Every structure is written in C-alpha cells, then in structure tokens.
Amino acid sequence: MDVENIFEKLYLYYDAVDNKQLADKMGIQPHNLTNWKQRNSINAIKKKCRELGIYQDIFGDINTTFTQHGDQSQQIQTQNNSGDSINNINNPNTLNIDDDILKLIEALNSVASALNKKEELKEELTNLISKLPTL
C-alpha cells in the first residue's frame, strides 16, 4: 500500500475534503500530513492510526501476533487468515462462538469505538489472552 492510497482511505474515513480538515479531525497540524506525504512516512501514519484506534479501518491488516507473558509463557504464532477463513471471520454465524460472548465482544467494540479507545481494548484483550492457561 502506498501513501496516496492511505491518504485516500483517511479522507474517506473522516469525510474530509482537504488537508486542513483531515488534520483537524486527526488532531494534528496540517504540515504533519504534508510531511508524511512528501517523505512517504507510512510508519508515522500507522503510528497515528494506532493512537486514534483506526488502524484496522485504514490498513485492514489480517495478520496479528499475540505474545503471552508470564512464567509459563510461550509465543502464539502469527495468525494468517486467508481464503475461506476470512469469510468465517466476517460471518460470525460460521464461527463457533457462544452468542453471549459475541454480544459482550460487540458491546466492548461499540464502547471502545465511541470513546476512541480501540487500541486500549486490543491491548487489554491481548493481556487477557496472555493470562489464559496454555492449551
């Protein structure tokens, strides 16, 4: 993905028409956007998107790495979803997840979105996973 495509997604996401409007909505100075574009600073954009909790919305990475911490920790390998498994992720009915758990996850996601705290939610869920006994 190149910087132009990323900016297109940001403009669409924020419904912005120019750099000033986009910068205002992202809580940064317009010159930062200009610098990112001129320097092709994709990592800087990714960092800001993580801070804003919109990383998945803009970059849509489907590769996720979780690391367990603690006495009996082991690293969970990078999960790469491809092919039909992506369809399963997008269709909760094909996943083997209890309806009550799904409702709780949807509620967490909704509140995190409303409070612009998606990154914090991801961190907390990752910490929770790290505390689970090894399977």
* pLDDT over 70 percentage in the chain: 71
Q: Are residues 68 and 82 in the same domain?
A: yes
Provide the domain limits for residue 53: 3-59
Q: Output the pTM of the full model.
A: 0.46
Q: Is the pLDDT of residue 90 over 60?
A: no
Helix, coil or strand: residue 106: helix
Q: Are residues 71 and 97 in the same domain?
A: yes
pLDDT score at 77: 37
Opening angle at CA 118, ends 55 and 68, nearest 5: 90
pLDDT by residue (tens digit) across 11-48?
999 999 999 999 999 999 999 999 999 999 999 999 99
Cα gap 111→80, rounded to integer Å: 27
Count structural domains, the chain.
2
Q: Residue 63's pLDDT band (boundaries 50, 70, 90)?
A: very low
Question: Comparing 101 with 65, which gets the higher pLDDT?
Answer: 101
Q: Are residues 50 and 73 in the same domain?
A: no
* pLDDT over 90 percentage in the chain: 39
Q: Are residues 52 and 106 in the same domain?
A: no
Q: Are residues 31 and 46 in the same domain?
A: yes
Q: Are residues 72 and 127 in the same domain?
A: yes
